[in-house]
A and B are shown apart, each in its own frame.
Chain A
Amino acid sequence: MAAWLVRRLVASMAIVFAVVTITFFVVHLAQGTPCGGERPLPPDVCDRERAVFGYDKPLPVQYVKYLAALLHGKMGYSFGLHRPVADALADAIPNTFILALAALLIDFALGLALGIYQAARAGRFGDVAAGNVALLINSMPVFWLGLVLLLVFAQWLRWFPAGGPHNPILCPRVDSPYCLLDFLWHLTLPALTLGLVGAASTARYQRAAILEVVRQDYVRTARAKGLRERRVLLVHALRNALLPIITLFGLAFPFLFTGAVLIETVFAWPGMGRLAVNAIFQRDYPVVTGAALLTSAMVVLGNLLADALYAVADPRIRVRGGEGGP
């Protein structure tokens, strides 16, 4: 296990390194300069600023310098935000993380419940109806679902706020008494949007996993013992049917980030997705590279975590130090 873990960690770091390298060169090769945009800087000012930030040097030199700084834990200085990249990312990450966590919670809670319900009534009306609704939600563009939820719940019903993380009247300072409630109130719609789309696919997998397990002999034994159907499904079958969900957990990370990029734009949520998108528009090189570094690291670590959990949860899977892992 330890050897396998080390191998996987080294491989993960290599992947993140490759992503950073590709990102670095692609974003620097992009046409247009940081001085462009809506109010372009005069050329002489632009040249001076480029020299200050070291962007006038050849690309390989900049690359080596960037890597050297990275090894010292420095991610550069954002000229678009006028602050160190690490600070900007540190402000944005918790927002994305909380959003992703809330979405993940809704995803698995709702997805598991729906999947179990569908499996229990497989082939009957409830199963078919729920399956079709899940398929429809899973087919929606996630940002469009967000817009529709905004229209219905924020504009027409006025139950939830239209965007942003805080209401300046309810929560004027970070330590005001209603801040937590206010934050949760603002979190609900974006988290629900991401969570619903995730839950739709979780339910599909969960239903299939239970129906797969139910055919096995030990489930028949449990039924033959005279156990109630509820106990057979929820205790005996579910334990083994939960295994594929671990894989789904690993797969959820890329989806959550992709979704977050769009959802943060729709709901004006100050997270990493929005930070990265704005940085790409402004050619804010270090912010883009830093964001790519962190997201690819999260994706790779998510997969690693899922594989490790799988090995722990399922004794039939043996991790070997050699080829590939589980």
Chain B
Amino acid sequence: MGGAAGLALGVVAALRRRVRATAPGRRFFRHPTAGPGLFVLTFFVTIAIAAPVVAPYPPYYQIDIEHPDHPPSAQFLLGTDPLSRDVWSRVVYGARVSLGIGAVAMLVAVTVGTAVGAVAGYFRRWVDTALMRLVDVGLAMPRIFVLLMAVALWEHIALWVLVLLIGLTGWFGTSRLVRAEVLSLREREFVAAARALGAGAGRVIFRHVLPNAAAPIIVSAALGIGHMMLLEAGLSFLGMGVPSPTPSWGNMIADGWHKMAVAWWSATFPGLAISLVVMALNAVGDALRDALDPRRETV
């Protein structure tokens, strides 16, 4: 753990030195919370990757089933849960699941959202109308509700299906954002020039329009990972997300909350981990916005 923290500190310091020469880099680190946010993210990504080294116990190992709910101590850093598993080890392994779900689901959402937004904004007319009405419907459906129903389609849900579902219900906002960018970019001279030179729609969208819309897409992705993680946690908490015994921060809260009155630690620490990571993502996302998109600098 100390090693991971040290490594994270080193990474942040190295990055700060690296990007100091560029204007966006300076703008990024001018945000007071950007550095700490980056540190928290690097720390959790490190322990997720190095989970077998960092975790003192295997995540499923029941240490002493007759004496569960051991309070935090030197031996069990964050205590043990109602099934007598080491909470710190499960937080470490849960980082893989929770961060992985957040990142992959966001990747799915950004890909679909960008594609739909670009097509709608570039081709306009009925394509735009049809796609945007679809987005209206998507935004009107209460998302957690849709996901609960979709998860109920299967008796036992595989992890990758869950990730796909979370991603596929999360692209509506991104597509609106991308559409707005594309609508304004497509009227610019360089796009007209590309078209006049005989570039096809695909080439114009991918080589000329989307690279210029990258900044808001990246920022919304950074902010979106946090939403995805919170959603996963909510679903897992209701028993409809990551199936037990696989540790995710959400289902760890679900495992621990019934005994919260006598053993507060097993539901509290995973929630703290989620809060820290989502806060770090928000801080880094805000700093990225200032760094990449100076026109829309936050005051």
Residues of B within 8 A of A22 (CB): 137, 141
In the assembled complex, the CB of A144 is this many whole angstroms from the nearest CB of chain B, namely 4
Contact B278 A155 (CB under 8 A): no
Tell whether A261 pairs with B152 under 8 Å between CB atoms, given A135-B283, A143-B234, A150-B260. no
B298 A208 Cβ-Cβ under 8 A: yes
Q: How many residues of A contact B (CB 8 A)?
A: 54
* A122–B261 CA distance with the chains assembled, in angstroms: 41
| A139→B141 contact, CB < 8 A | no
Q: Say yes or no: B145 contacts A292, CB within 8 Å.
A: yes
* Residue pair A280, B149 in contact (C-beta under 8 Å): yes
Q: Which of B145, B226, B267, B282 contacts A261 (CB 8 A)?
A: B145
Q: Across the two chains, which residue of chain A brings its CB closest to B141?
A: A19
Q: Are B275 and A151 in contact (CB under 8 A)?
A: no
Looking at A57-65, A67-75, A295-303, the stretch in contact with chain B turns out to be A295-303
Contact of B155 among A14, A32, A288 (CB under 8 A): A32
Q: Decide: B271 and A15 in contact? CB cutoff 8 A.
A: no
Q: B275–A144 contact, CB under 8 A?
A: yes
Query: Chain B contact residues: over half helix, strand or loop, or mixed?
Result: helix
Q: Does residue B253 face the partner (Cβ distance < 8 Å to A)?
A: yes
The distance in angstroms between the C-alpha atoms of A266 and B237, with both chains bound, is 10
Chain A residues near B141 (CB-CB < 8 A): 19, 22-23, 292, 296
* Bound complex: CA A147 to CA B274 (Å): 14
Contact string against A for B residues 225-269, beta-carbon threshold 8 Å, 1 for contact and 0 otherwise: 010001001100110000000000010010001001100100110
Residues in chain A near residue B137, CB distance under 8 A: 15, 18-19, 22
Using Cβ atoms and an 8 Å threshold, which residues of chain A touch B136?
11, 15
Q: Are B32 and A31 in contact (CB under 8 A)?
A: no
B152: A residues at CB distance < 8 A: 27, 30-32, 280-281, 283
- Give chain A's interface secondary structure class: helix
Report whether B230 and A30 are in contact in the complex, using a CB–CB cutoff of 8 Å. Answer: no
Question: Contact at A276–B274, with CB atoms within 8 Å?
Answer: no
The chain A residue sitting closest to B231, CB to CB, is A258
| Interchain CB contact under 8 A, A139 and B279 | yes
What chain B residues lie within 8 Å of A128 (beta carbons)? 32
What is the 8 Å Cβ interface bit string for chain B, positions 143-173, against chain A (1 contact, 0 not)?
1111011101111000000000000000000
Is A247 on the interface with B (CB-CB < 8 A)?
no
User: A242-266: contact bitstring with B at CB < 8 Å (1 yes, 0 no)?
Assistant: 0000000000001001100110011
What's the minimum C-beta distance from B139 to chain A, rounded to whole angstroms? 8
Which residues in B have their C-beta under 8 angstroms from that of A19? Answer: 137, 140-141
Q: Nearest Cβ distance between residue B166 and chain A, in whole angstroms?
A: 13
| B62 interface hit (Cβ, 8 Å) | no
Q: Are B271 and A139 closer than 8 Å at their CB atoms?
A: no
Residue interface mask A192-226, B partner, CB < 8 A = 1: 00000000000000001001100000000000000
**A148 sits at the interface (CB 8 A):** yes
When distances are taken between beta carbons in the complex, the residues of chain B under 8 Å from A30 are 149, 152-153
**Which A93-138 residues sit within 8 Å CB-CB of chain B?**
122, 128, 132, 135-136, 138
How far is the CB of A26 from the nearest CB of chain B, in Å?
5
Within 8 Å by CB of B299, from A16, A31, A122, A257, lies A122
- How far is it, in angstroms, between the C-alpha of A204 and the C-alpha of B243 when the chains are bound? 36
How far is A216 from B219 in the complex, measured between Cα atoms in Å?
28
Given contact pairs A141-B253, A257-B142, A27 touches B274 in the complex (Cβ within 8 A)? no
In the complex the two chains form, is B261's CB within 8 Å of A155's CB? yes
| 13 interchain pairs, CB-CB under 8 A | A22-B141, A27-B149, A29-B153, A138-B282, A139-B276, A139-B282, A141-B271, A141-B274, A144-B253, A144-B271, A261-B142, A261-B145, A265-B238
Question: Residues of A at under 8 Å CB distance from B?
Answer: 11, 14-16, 18-19, 22-23, 26-27, 29-32, 122, 128, 132, 135-136, 138-144, 147-148, 150-151, 155, 208, 211-212, 254, 257-258, 261-262, 265-266, 276-277, 280-281, 283, 288, 291-292, 295-296, 299-300, 303
4 smallest beta-carbon distances between A and B, as pairs: A144-B271, A139-B278, A139-B279, A211-B299
Q: A135-B33, A144-B271, A295-B142 are in contact. List 15 more A-B contacts (CB 8 A).
A: A15-B137, A19-B141, A26-B150, A29-B153, A139-B274, A139-B275, A140-B271, A142-B230, A143-B233, A254-B139, A258-B143, A261-B144, A262-B234, A277-B148, A281-B152
Please list the residues of chain B having a beta carbon within 8 angstroms of any beta carbon in chain A.
Answer: 32-33, 133, 136-137, 139-146, 148-150, 152-155, 226, 230, 233-234, 237-238, 250, 253, 257, 260-261, 264, 267-268, 271, 274-276, 278-279, 281-283, 298-299
